[in-house]
Structure 1
């Protein structure tokens, strides 16, 4: 669970209900929570602060407009992430940053018995390393390692099958391993 999820997580369903009933102060607090929750993911995915701010603004407007359709107030964070994910990928496609070759990986890729782990020194540098991974894998890696979502939660947010989430995680980790094993890539503690 990300810090934005932990901070007042019990309060979020109440804020949703109050905002749906027309309470402006609750709506402002809810949108502030959504901004804190979604900004890191948006920034990592788009790799451009201005683009991230633009997309996040669009997402907040969508959250405001669609809030009345949210049936389960406890699902607000997942619902907000799903809307953000859709907007991010629309923006990536619109700006031709999306690599179609990596959009869909076969869910039939061989899996591992346990989830692969990253060296803790590299987890700290993950946001910078993610810039060199395809957007599809970047989304899975960011949600899983930076937002602390399970792979099933990642699959739900991205609206993909769990097998595809696992494949994208494996592909992204393989790409990261190649990057960090490259002689040109500095090791943790050696500088950036």
Structure 2
């Protein structure tokens, strides 16, 4: 990992010194990963590509403000996450009604097995979490990031990451228990 950080550090410093090839190397090194991260968040390939492209625009315009070039990965991922969040906010405003309608249709479908129903309920319960808690849950359980990595990526303390994970679990337990009663 330290080698990766030193590669990033050298490329960032070279770009800041005027080497355009260093920027091309950074893009080649990170663009697909940015697309993958954006896709993981938004679940739309075209939007993920647009988000990654928009992120590069921000990265290039603000790279001079990066205090520690070794932290390029975390800094750039944060930009990608912020762009994806903006896209999700805009999309969610127009889709809130259709999502609840689709859930009702699926809920009434008798062909779902108990396991599929549980997965659907859990997925919807996770979607209903506040954004900060949802991000920590997804990073911890789906992406298998450690709490330290999550705290670095989201630029929060480890204690805050633990707290968000704890509260998210509690909300999920409550939500799933409430659904069992109906």
Query: What TM-score range do you get, normalising by the shorter chain?
Result: 0.5 to 0.7
Contact persistence 1:41–1:143 (CA under 8 A): no
Contact persistence 1:130–1:138 (CA under 8 A): no
- Alignment match of 1:21 (pick from 11, 17, 24): 17
- Alignment match of 1:55 (pick from 51, 56, 65): 51
- Alignment match of 1:153 (pick from 143, 149, 169): 149
Contact persistence 1:154–1:165 (CA under 8 A): yes
Between stretches 5-14 and 50-59, larger displacement belongs to 5-14
Q: 1:66: how far off?
A: 0.9
**Normalised by the size of structure 2, how large is the TM-score?**
0.63
* Unmatched runs of 5 consecutive residues or more in structure 2: 95-121, 177-182
Question: Which structure's residues are more often helix, by fraction?
Answer: 2
SS at match of 1:71: coil
Deviations 1:124-158 (A, max 9, x none): xxxxx978733544432443456554313313322
Match of 1:34 in 2: 30
Deviations 1:14-62 (A, max 9, x none): 1111011111111011122221332222111101111111111111111
- Alignment match of 1:87 (pick from 83, 89, 104): 83
Match of 2:69 in 1: 73
Match of 2:126 in 1: 133
Match of 1:169 in 2: 165
**Normalised by the size of structure 1, how large is the TM-score?**
0.60
Aligned length: 146
Q: Specify whether residues 130 and 73 from structure 1 end up closer, same or farther in structure 2 by C-alpha distance, changes over 3 A only.
A: farther
Structural RMSD (CA):
3.5
Q: 1:78: how far off?
A: 0.9
